[in-house]
Chain A
Amino acid sequence: MRPNRRNHSRPLNGLQKERTGIPGFDEITLGGLPAGRPTLLCGSAGAGKTLFAMEFLVRGATLYNQPGVFISFEESNEELTTNVASLGFDLNQLIVDKKLVLDYVFIERSEIEETGEYDLEGLFLRLGHAIDSIGAKRIVLDTLEALFSALPNEAIIRAELRRLFRWLKEKGVTALITCERGEGKLTRYGLEEYVADCVILLDNRVENQISTRRMRIVKYRGTSHGTNEYPFLIDEKGFSVVPITSLGLSHPAPTEYISSGIARLDTMLDGKGFYRGSSILVSGTAGTGKSTIGAHFVESACARGERALFFAFEESQDQIVRNMRSIGIDLEKFVKKGLLKFQNARPSTWGLELHLAMIHNMISEFSPSVVMVDPITNFLAIGDRIETKQMLTRLIDFLKSRQITAMFTSLTSGGDDLEDSEVDVSSLMDAWLLVKNIECNGERNRGLYILKARGVAHSNQIREFLLTDHGIQLVDAYVGSEGVLMGSARSSQVAREKAAEVDRKQVMERKQRELRRKQELYEAQLIALKSQYETERDTILRELEEEKQRQQVVAVQRLEIARLRQADNGEVQMQGNGARKSRKGTAR
């Protein structure tokens, strides 16, 4: 009891509130239903009144140790027990534990005759006895309006109802009174005039053949409350209201980075990747590989041991696993490990709000660190742009508040401007990758660029991305004298350039070879010339030597001759030819 008291009787504007324990409802009412006062719960048939009321009691009994009384005017105890057993509520056990009293008030109109004055003291006594028997703090009257059809005198019923509500207040029990919605007014019999403190309206509208349950607090005297229509859902765990609109822009901003799962994409993002807790939009036309980028992202998260939740609105789990296996991404092992969970549903299965509620519940349950939504554009099939944007805004706010990194894919239809994000959510996103088909030379190639990445210094280049059997490969697009080329144009251009380079290389090699040859040639010639010169030089030198020797021989002979002819003429002999000439002259 003690810890509960702190929870449920928080004074707010002087009004004490009783927690219902219904997820989301206590948030929008800032604490629950008015404690010790009656609350009116109205809605048309099938809106979920009985379930809401029953959950109010069951949660009260199990979570807050507040016993409750359920007075049913429509369903027998057995029917009620069976109906809520599907939500996991074991009423019989609660009854045994004296936490709950079911009382079926059945009135057969046909066996009743009215004669004269009466009051409903019998009902009061029954309520009083039921409340006192277990010390109940909560009571549900479902559907009190049955009295009007059961008893003929409306004036008496009205007077008694007025007394009943007063009496309930005096008893200090928190009462929930359900009633049918009337034409043009909240309740068929105008019960709202008796219960003035708190009025809740449940609604089940069908739009575009999709029904969405909504709840609104019409009136809550003495306290502030969320005034919007809140979607709610009833699933196997009971009632839950989605008050995501109450979230604001107060989420923290982590500075940690998270890899995109594609190494080259991380490089484009300043080498780090995305910020944790950011929202990433991947938009592009059909077949550009958006889901594959998402699969990479999810795979890398799981590989780090983080939990990932994959909301697929187009493909089944098996289909995704199979398709991703073909490009070398094994998602199945992470599914088996329990790190990856798929939630596959056609968008048209539920309304927008219900989708949001389902996503909300799934995330709360699985608490992933990474969420993939593929694709968000399919929501347009069930809501208009404004509704879809609102829903996504709330989803993003919710994800951010939990610091979940989320990737959304968005399909851009061919005719639209590629940088138009179809559902106008681009401004909500922290990072935006654009994948587009670039058509040229009779082929389509995938190009990827980062349109924005808040707070990350990112590359402005278009990268071509290829789907290979080991995932996505980002390749530099060819940028050169021929412009930006991709695909086969890029590879042929690269090949051409390679060929040209080879050519140039060969030419150079040839020239070098030629040079070498010339050098060798000239060197050989040089050697030949040198040897020729040496030969000639030797010959000349030899001839010179021979001449010299000959002259010496001649001189010796002349001396010999002279000596032989003029033995006395030593003079002539001594002066040689000159002396001989002058002697001749003088002799004549």
Chain B
Amino acid sequence: MKTTPSKKLRRPSNGLTQQSESDDTRWNLRLYVAGQTPRSLTAFKNLKEICEKYLKGQYHIEVIDLMENPTLARGDQILAIPTLVRKLPQPIRKIIGDLSNAERVLVGLDIQPRSN
């Protein structure tokens, strides 16, 4: 596992991080983190890798740092950190953990059928 390119997370301000790779936002993903912990960074790196590999050009990642905006935890009922929320396509799905198991992330996001 390589070190996360932390500059990607650090670049946006106020914790509300827009990570848009394209205008096609069929996949609207939200990653909830709490501060820049190694686990959060790992999760972001893992998510990025998966998205680049499977959803290239059709995803939008929003990183929310609850340390800075704790009120936002209510909206998506966030308990665990990190939590990845699939806002679109519906229905909402949640994946908790550092997303280190790519296969389960794919299942969780419904990119890959569970049968695998």
Contact = CB atoms under 8 A, between A and B. Distances in A.
Interface string B54-84: 0000000000001100110110011111110
Nearest to B76: A122
Given A118-B96, A118-B98, A113 B105 contact: yes
B113 interface: no
Interface in B65-116: 66-67, 70-71, 73-74, 77-83, 91-101, 104-105, 107-108
Given A119-B39, A125-B67, A105 B77 contact: yes
A118 B83 contact: yes
B80 to A, nearest CB: 4
Contacts of A416: none
B44 interface: no
B50 to A, nearest CB: 10
Nearest to A122: B78
B34 interface: yes
Interface centre among B71, B77, B82 (most CB of A within 10 A): B77
Given A122-B80, A128-B70, A115 B92 contact: no
A121 B93 CA distance: 19
A151 interface: yes
A113 B82 contact: no
Interface string A77-107: 0000000000000000000000000010111
Contact of A151 (B77, B95, B96): B96
A126 interface: yes
Interface of A: 103, 105-108, 111-123, 125-126, 128-129, 147, 150-151
Given A107-B79, A119-B80, A150-B79, 8 more contacts: A111-B91, A113-B95, A114-B97, A116-B42, A116-B100, A118-B82, A121-B80, A121-B81
A118 to B, nearest CB: 4
Contacts of A116: 42-43, 46, 97-101
Contacts of A117: 39, 97-98, 100
Contact of B81 (A105, A120, A128, A147): A120
Main secondary structure of the interface of A (DSSP, over half): mixed
16 contacts: A111-B91, A111-B94, A113-B94, A113-B105, A115-B95, A115-B96, A115-B97, A115-B104, A116-B100, A118-B39, A118-B80, A120-B79, A120-B80, A122-B66, A125-B70, A151-B96
A105 to B, nearest CB: 7
Contacts of A112: 94-96
A108 B107 CA distance: 17
Contacts, number: 96
A352 to B, nearest CB: 44
Interface centre among A122, A126, A147, A151 (most CB of B within 10 A): A122
Contacts of A111: 91-94
A126 B96 contact: no
Contacts of A107: 77, 79
A150 B39 CA distance: 21
Contact of B34 (A106, A108, A122): A122
B100 A126 contact: no
A122 B83 contact: yes
A122 B73 contact: yes
A364 to B, nearest CB: 42
Contacts of A121: 34, 66, 80-81
* Contact-size category for B: 20 to 34
Contacts of A128: 70
Given A112-B94, A115-B98, A118-B98, A126 B70 contact: yes
Contacts of A119: 39, 80-81
A115 B100 contact: yes
A113 B104 contact: yes
Nearest to A132: B70
B97 A118 contact: yes
Please list the 6 inter-chain residue pairs (A to B) with the smallest Cβ-Cβ separation, ordered nearest first: A113-B108, A129-B70, A116-B100, A116-B97, A121-B81, A116-B98
Contacts of A118: 39, 80-83, 96-98
B100 A122 contact: no
Contacts of B96: 112-115, 118, 151
A99 to B, nearest CB: 19
Contacts of B99: 115-116
A150 B83 CA distance: 14
A130 B107 CA distance: 34
B41 to A, nearest CB: 13
A117 B80 CA distance: 10
A125 B34 contact: yes
A172 B77 CA distance: 25
A115 B105 CA distance: 7
Contacts of A115: 95-101, 104-105, 108
Contacts of A150: 79
Interface centre among B73, B81, B96 (most CB of A within 10 A): B96
Nearest to A123: B79
B82 to A, nearest CB: 6
A126 B75 CA distance: 11
Contacts of B79: 105, 107, 120, 122-123, 126, 147, 150-151
Contacts of B100: 115-117
A147 B104 CA distance: 21
A122 B70 CA distance: 8
Given A115-B96, A115-B97, A115-B99, A151 B70 contact: no
Contacts of B97: 114-118
Contacts of B105: 113, 115
A116 B94 CA distance: 13
Interface centre among A118, A129, A150 (most CB of B within 10 A): A118
